[in-house]
Amino acid sequence: MKALPARTGSARSTTVDVVCFFTIAVALCFAFSVPMVFRLVPSEFDNLITPIMQTTPLIAAIILWLVRRPGTFRQTFATTWRGQVPWILAGMGIITAVAAAQTAVALATGIATLNPVDQILAASIWILPVLAMQSVLAIGEEFGWRGWLATRARSWGFWPLAAVSGLVWIVWHLPVLAVIGDRPLFDIVVYFAGMLPWAPLLLALRWRSGSVWPAVLAHGAINSIRVYLLQSVPSGTDHLLIEVIGWILTLTAAIWLMRPSRASAPALSAERALR
């Protein structure tokens, strides 16, 4: 009987920490976006403001880590590199496969046409540099969402954490409305809905590997390899069918990674994070 209050208190403490993290990350992101949203600076500064906004989950996580001190930075943010190459390759491979399937369907159905070969080859030289840059920028996000948060709220279970963090992740992205231009409401809804399936996949990579780095590199691949395959290879894949295919395949990959035979993954993740 005495154990119940202790568990309840622990659950309450976790919830308080997670809510504080969400609040700080979103509030800081919105605050940093003010000059961009209200056009207080020229649009050329958007590319400088956006990377600053991307650091807000990390800032929020560090604040809570300093307050709570639950463990070392390496333990809490799951920054181990040991044994991560296969998981990094798996994450990047999934991103590539999903985008390639979307492009193949778009080309096969006539939704898009193939760009000139010389144009495709010219764009391909930027894949690795952009991947490296986007992966570095993703550290600010992933160390918060899939680093500190995945460690602190692992008791919630995978799917509840993926769902809640995914929804807050969308809210956190709302300032992007200032730079995507004047679009119909339906297009905006589809744009933001497309972010939701990435949360389970990135969390699954973190959960299964015990490290934040596969999620970091996969996030970088989303903004580089995926963009190349969907925007540089075909003439355009801006179509609901292509979006839905991407959502389904991404969720399927997350489900596959978290299949029942991997039920011990949270324990393994926590153990590896301590190494």
List the domain boundaries for the chain.
3-273
Phi, psi of 114, rounded to the nearest 5 degrees: -75, 135
pLDDT reported for residue 40: 92
> For 42-46, 106-110, 224-228, 232-236, which range has the lowest pLDDT when averaged over its residues?
42-46
pLDDT digits (tens, 9 = 90+) for 144-162: 999 999 999 999 999 999 9
Mean pLDDT, all residues of the chain: 90
pLDDT digits (tens, 9 = 90+) for 182-234: 788 898 899 999 999 999 999 999 999 999 999 999 999 999 999 999 999 99
Closest-CA residue to 218 (of 108, 90, 122): 90
What is the C-alpha separation between 102 and 108, in angstroms, rounded? 10
Sequence-distant (≥ 6) Cβ neighbours of residue 22 within 8 angstroms: 168
| % pLDDT > 90, the chain | 79
What is the C-alpha separation between 11 and 84, in angstroms, rounded? 30
| % pLDDT > 70, the chain | 91
HSE (CB half, 13 Å, CA atoms) of 122?
5
pLDDT reported for residue 177: 84
Helix, strand or coil for residue 61?
Answer: helix
Which comes out higher in pLDDT, residue 8 or 32?
32
pLDDT reported for residue 237: 87
